[in-house]
Amino acid sequence: MIKSVSKAEKIKGIISLPGDKSISHRAMLLNAMSNGSALISNFCHGDDRSAMINCLNGLGVNIEKIQSNDSEYPNDTFLVEGNSNGDFSIPTRVLDAGNSGTTFRLVSGLLATQNFESTISGDNSLRNRPMGRIIQPLTKMGALITGMKDNSFAPLKIRGGNLSGIEYTMPVASAQVKSCIMIAGTKASGSTTIIQPKVSRDHTERMLKAMGAKISINNLTVEIKRSNLSALDVTVPGDISGAAFWMVLASCHPNASITLKRVGLNPSRTGIIEVLKMMGANIKLSNVVEEAGEPCGDIEIQSSELTGVDIEGEIIPRVIDEIPILALAACFAKGQTIIKDAEELRIKESDRISATVNGLSKLGATLTETNDGMVISGNAKLIGAPVDTFNDHRIAMTMGIAGVLADGTTEINRSEANMISYPSFWEQLSIVTGELEVSAH
């Protein structure tokens, strides 16, 4: 579907975000492995939600959508029944993780603990994303795994059970890989030690700890021992990766004020706030509280004058999903922005370096691709043009925000890609822009 988005004169609004995708997936899967039942409120929206639920249903997990008493989250509450830390049912079909890398890699960790053979696959994009990174450690732990194309791509056939703990030095900083190994580690004999090259999101560590797992963390090293998990009710905070689009919109627009309610503020995810503040953004946090081991609070953003910065090194894994929208912010900043060390972007739902450069160039920005990032000239004057999302939700939303900031009208091809993580995105965009004309053909 092509969506037309036009320049907005004013940006104003209070926005509630869908539940954080990373925390939602972990809450569902770890509770399915626990010894009781748990309520998960403000569960994430979109097709990635269905991917996790379908895979767990395929393993015999009971998940029920319920009407919650929590007036803030009446519609997005699920009751998950744990399997008493025991065996799951043998799936009678291929488990389909759709477009969701997190579902695929976390569920693979669970399959490695089960004493039967099962197959997990996904859509075309997911079948082209590297799975050698989970096959290698899970095989070392004792799982038997076969995949496609040199044994490195989905679909994967996994026969698990009888795992032994390992010490594993991760070649790349990936929270999905780290979580996959930790999930397998909860059922392995001995202890499993993971050494990360850089800090990546630590939602799994926090949730496992809150569920009573034997886990210890020392800087970049995580150690987990065989554990029984206690069910844990989780109220999922709003997704900071979704909030990033509004933060950049309000920062770059000359007449803007946006408040984002109850957003997750885990330090392993707040790289976006740190980078925007370094660029000079006007961002204030308030009402910060902790829920189920995760900090969350409100974020208020006003118009600001941004300056280009270098984004590289340690912060990259903490801002990895926000780089496309940060590239847009850099187009409006004074001076140059250089993004390095972000080669992982090339193997996300699309090649996000090339998709971002393609779209923003069409709108008149001056930016170039490098192997591991981009070089972006600031002070751009964007002018609406036809652009594509490459079927990637984060590129779709980046192009939507670019369309509101550009002169004229931007036509976004395959705009429905937002359905993966943020179904209400276009509607909320039309609300905050007031007179914005959003028309679908």
Structure tokens at 328: 């847009």
**Helical (H) or strand (E) element with 53:** helix 47-58
Bond from prior residue into 18 cis (ω within 30 degrees of 0): no
Q: Are 377 and 367 in contact, with CB atoms under 8 Å apart?
A: yes
Under a CB-based contact definition with an 8 Å cutoff, are residues 121 and 155 in contact?
A: yes
The span of 86-94, 175-183, 377-385, 425-433 binding ligand S3P (CB under 6 A) equals: 175-183
Mark the segment that binds ligand S3P (CB under 6 A) among 173-181, 246-254, 279-287, 428-436: 173-181
Nearer to ligand S3P, 5 or 27 (CB): 27
Interior angle at CA 70, CA 66 and CA 75, nearest 5: 40
For the CB of residue 421, give the shortest distance to ligand S3P in the complex, in Å. Answer: 9
Contacting range for ligand S3P; rule: CB under 6 A; set: 46-54, 70-78, 168-176, 207-215: 168-176
What mask, x for binding ligand S3P by CB under 6 A, covers residues 181 to 220?
--------------------x-------------------
Active site residue 321: yes
Q: Are 99 and 51 in contact (CB under 8 A)?
A: yes
Contact 405, 252 (CB under 8 A): yes
Site for ligand S3P in 75-94 (CB under 6 A): none
Minimum Å distance from CB 347 to ligand S3P? 8
Comparing CB distances to ligand S3P, the nearer of 176 and 433 is 176
204 CB contacts (<8 Å, ≥6 apart)? 26, 30, 175, 178, 179, 182, 183
Residue with tokens 């999905």: 176
- Given candidates 8, 39, 141, 175, which one binds ligand S3P under the rule CB under 6 A? 175
Residue with Cβ nearer ligand S3P (153 or 332): 153
Nearer to ligand S3P, 40 or 175 (CB): 175
Angle between helices 21-32 and 101-111 (to 10 degrees): 20
Cβ neighbour number for residue 370 with a 10 Å cutoff: 14
Burial 325-341 (b: 16+ CB within 10 A, else e): bbbbbbbbbeebbebbb
Provide the minimum distance between the beta carbon of 147 and ligand S3P in the complex, in angstroms, as a whole number. Answer: 17
CB of 439 to ligand S3P, least distance (A): 30
DSSP state of 162: S
**Interface positions, 100-129, toward ligand S3P (CB under 6 A):** 101-102
Active-site residue, from 48, 239, 321, 392: 321
The residue type at 151: N
Q: Which of 41, 83, 103, 176 binds ligand S3P (CB under 6 A)?
A: 176
φ, ψ dihedrals at 103, nearest 5°:
-60, -50
Helix/strand/coil for 381: coil
Minimum CB–partner distance for residue 385 and ligand S3P (Å): 28
Total interface residues for ligand S3P by CB under 6 A: 11
- Burial readout 236-245 (b: 16 or more C-beta within 10 A, e: otherwise): bbbbbbbbbb
Window 309-328: residues binding ligand S3P (CB under 6 A): 320-321
Shortest Cβ 264–ligand S3P spacing (Å): 12
Positions 338 through 367 that interact with ligand S3P (CB under 6 A)? 344
Query: Shortest gap between Cβ of 23 and ligand S3P (angstroms)?
Result: 8
Q: What are the C-alpha distances in Å from 32 to residues 77, 121, 287, 340?
A: 15, 20, 31, 38
Q: Which stretch binds ligand S3P (CB under 6 A): 48-56, 64-72, 169-177, 210-218?
A: 169-177
Residues of span 20-39 touching ligand S3P by CB under 6 A: 22
User: In the 8-state DSSP scheme, what is residue 8?
Assistant: -
| Residue 378 and residue 332 in contact, taking contact as beta carbons nearer than 8 Å | yes
**Is residue 396 close enough to count as binding ligand S3P by CB under 6 A?**
no
* Least distance from ligand S3P to the Cβ atom of residue 179, Å: 6
H or E segment to which residue 402 belongs: helix 393-405
Compare residues 22 and 266 and give the one whose CB is closer to ligand S3P.
22
Quick one: which segment of 86-94, 172-180, 185-193, 205-213 binds ligand S3P (CB under 6 A)?
172-180
Which residue's CB is nearer to ligand S3P, number 3 or number 352?
A: 352
Using rule CB under 6 A, residue 174 touches ligand S3P? yes
Please give the order of strands across the beta sheet that includes 234-235: 63-66, 77-81, 37-41, 234-235
Q: Which residues bind ligand S3P (CB under 6 A)?
A: 22, 101-102, 174-176, 179, 201, 320-321, 344
Catalytic residues: 321
